[in-house]
Amino acid sequence: MTPCLYECEVMHRRLKPKQKRFDYRIFMLSVDLDDLPQVPFLGLNRFNLFALNDRDHIDLGHPGGIRANLFAWMEQQKIACPADARVRLVTLPRVLGYAFKPVSFYYLTSQDGDPLFAIAEVRNTYHEMKLYLVDGAQSNGWQRTVTKEFYVSPFSDVRDSFNFKLGHPGETLAVKIDNLDADGITLVSAVNGASKPLTARRLLWFGIKYPLLSLKVILMIHWQALKLWTRKVPHFTKSANRDAQTDVLRPHSSLTQNDD
């Protein structure tokens, strides 16, 4: 549970209806929610060059921060987890107060360090959030296919599925998320990173190397979406299939407004 940074290569490859691939580099924070690091240039619920803020993550209104709300969510979902389990959060940081986190990961272990399961926390550009349990244990991590029931991209149906493959985070980080429709994989996404020490010097260097990191991510998402739109790739509106968008946290008005 030593805090660290993962310097990562991100890859998105669309397979159909038209092929498209783009790659970019980011870095992610990896911290123990029970032992948050006190490092210059990293704010905890306060402004700094980079920051980790409770309101960017699961929030069901419980006091006690991210961990307490994550455990409250697991209780709602009837997910059995030891009360003393350790939780590692791997996420993009806030940058100069701005946050956009397409996906964050919680890795849960016993007090003895035995891996239990992982949870993916997915956010969309409407600031909605949905959590997915990934508990299919494998020798090198976890794998699980789940129905999305969440609007992530206008070019993927909310009735599609996610296939998560998450490796145990250590010296490296390995994440693969496939989007599947009824006929197979439509989009492959992967994050692969190497661990770096979480130090003030490294954070300052990454502030220079990855300027405006979160803003870069959301701009790239919209730029790639524009390219797909100009290629006339079929798309889905947010308000379509509202009944299929379930267990959404912080629901957008498109889900809550009355049609009358």
80 is in which domain, residue-wise? 4-212
In the chain, how many domains are there? 1
The predicted pLDDT at position 28 comes to 97
Domain membership flag for residue 224: no
Q: What distance in Å separates the CA atoms of residue 187 and residue 20, rounded to the nearest whole number?
A: 9
Residue 186: alpha-carbon gap to chain centroid: 19
Domain membership flag for residue 246: no
Q: Is the pLDDT of residue 155 over 70?
A: yes
Domain membership flag for residue 72: yes
- What's the predicted TM-score (pTM) here? 0.94
Q: Is 85 exposed, middle or buried (0-12, 13-18, 19+ CB in 10 A)?
A: middle
Q: Is the pLDDT of residue 259 over 80?
A: no
Domain membership flag for residue 223: no
Q: Which amino acid is at 157?
A: D
pLDDT-wise least confident of 56-65, 110-119, 197-206, 216-225: 216-225
Q: Is the pLDDT of residue 52 over 60?
A: yes
Give the mean pLDDT of 23-45: 96
Tens of pLDDT, residues 224-252: 878 887 887 778 888 888 999 999 999 99
Q: Which amino acid is at 160?
A: D
Domain membership flag for residue 217: no
Q: What distance in Å separates the CA atoms of residue 159 and residue 151, rounded to the nearest whole number?
A: 9
